[in-house]
Amino acid sequence: SRRRRRREAARNEAAAAAAAGDVEDQPLLRGIFEVKKKSCDVVLSAQRLRWSRITPESPLGGSSIGLHRKEESVEMKDVFSIKLKRRRFAGQEKGGILLGITIFVCLNKEGNKLKDATIHLGNISEDHCYVWYRSLKTILMGFPNRPKSLKVFVNPTSHKKEATQIYYEQAAPLFKLADITTDVTGSTNILAHTLNGIQHTQTATLHIILGHLKSVDMCTFSSPFKPLRFGFSSMFGFGSRTLALAEKHRWIPPNQRKNFAVIKTLANLRPEDCEISFLPLKHLQQDSQENDRIQGHFLNVSIMAIPCLCSVAPRGLAPNTRLDDGSIALITVRNTSRQEFIRHLKRYASLKNQFSFPFIDTYIVEEVKVCPRIGMKHIPADNLNCTGSEENTYPWNIDGDLVEWATEVHIRCQAAEFGCCKGCNCEKQS
């Protein structure tokens, strides 16, 4: 019967998968190395590296009492670098006395953290070590998606302007170990919490090295005259004015500075007069392919390509956004009373819908134009970036960076790939 044939086909597929797994776990090499100063029987397969201590025989034959062959192992998919270990004298850059092989692995820690660790296989035989070294490297080269070269974006103004130092101290050495060439330039770290569930430099670096990549939507920002920058989240209005005020008081400790800026901006709450045009996502469009337009006074305008999970908004600043569907979220907060606006802000820290207010509208779009309607007629073409008086420029909060632009801003969505934790937040949000 058809049901019987399906059962047989399923059994055959399961048997084939099991056979393939057995083949991958077949020993490729077996040898003796010293691990943690103990002689060990080491076995290499395509899937894993296993080792167990070699136990001495008792005079009467058999194993000595109390000694057991406890096997340890590491999955090859968690190995990110193989090096020959040598002892070199002071000033010696090449050569040296061979001591064995060092294997660099990635370990899972608590709270989604990753940590690098080393396994030393001690053996002074050049021939023996080279055979193992070549086999280990061949296995690593067979893993797909692991990068050989990277363009790394570092935001020089973030983390008290220590981001560049953090990169060169924590991330760059790991890239070098993995033989990945890098070209470093500037950007942001806004993706860390959303993709990995944690803001941790080493974790993000190891995900990249191991080829844990995820397609992620990002935004390009441009003026009518030239491209400005790219990013993943942006705020115009309350979110940007709060950041601008905080940046003017850098001498205040971070947490106190944030609270001060929020309270001060709320005390002087005022809307922005602007016109917003946007192109709805294609499959959401009705008959017209033209941009929709809204205008008026807005307390805040948010344009988000990712959910933007953070400590103040566990569900995200834009919880309905997906990571890689080619869309960005447009969230507009029209002018309302200070009390109602504060109610809206408090919702971010709760499980309630922060957008269920009559003065808030949300849209799923492909591109957005934001055009302030005050002081625009007399702005020269060369006064576009971070120049001019306060009347001629408007603060924007781009991924937590303060920028000032004196013209309409055009935001478009495009895709990119970034390192992430498979099975973590990103898959829940896709």
- Average pLDDT (67-76) is 81
Residue 379 pLDDT exceeds 50: no
Residue 103 pLDDT exceeds 90: yes
Per-residue pLDDT reduced to its tens digit, 285-295: 555 567 799 99
The domain defined by 25-54+71-142 folds into PH-domain like (2.30.29)
Residue 334 pLDDT exceeds 90: yes
- Average pLDDT (263-281) is 93
Contact assessment for residue 74 and residue 105, using Cβ atoms and an 8 Å cutoff: yes
pLDDT grade for 384, boundaries at 50, 70 and 90: very low
The architecture (CATH level 2) of 216-374+392-419 comes to Sandwich (2.60)
11: which 2 tokens?
């059994």
Per-residue pLDDT reduced to its tens digit, 388-415: 344 578 999 988 888 888 888 999 988 7
Element spanning 19, H or E: helix 2-24
pLDDT grade for 58, boundaries at 50, 70 and 90: low
- Average pLDDT (42-52) is 95
More confident residue, 39 or 382: 39
pLDDT grade for 65, boundaries at 50, 70 and 90: very low
Contact assessment for residue 327 and residue 216, using Cβ atoms and an 8 Å cutoff: no
Residue with tokens 């060092």: 102
DSSP state of 313: B
Position 381 scores a pLDDT of 35
pLDDT grade for 177, boundaries at 50, 70 and 90: very high
pLDDT grade for 202, boundaries at 50, 70 and 90: confident
Q: Which of 27-41, 344-358, 382-396 has the lowest mean pLDDT?
A: 382-396
pLDDT grade for 22, boundaries at 50, 70 and 90: low
DSSP state of 425: H
> Percent of the chain having pLDDT more than 70?
77
Bridge-based pairing of strands 233-237 and 272-280 is unpaired
Query: DSSP 3-state assignment of 69?
Result: coil
Instruction: Region of 129 please: left (phi>0), alpha (psi -120 to 50) or beta.
Output: alpha
Burial class (CB in 10 A: 0-12, 13-18, 19+), 256: exposed
Cα 99 from Cα 101, distance rounded (Å): 7
- Average pLDDT (297-323) is 85
Q: Where are the alpha helices (DSSP H) in 113-228?
A: 126-141, 158-161, 163-166, 172-177, 191-196, 201-209
Chain mean pLDDT for the chain: 81
Contact assessment for residue 379 and residue 407, using Cβ atoms and an 8 Å cutoff: yes
More confident residue, 375 or 46: 46
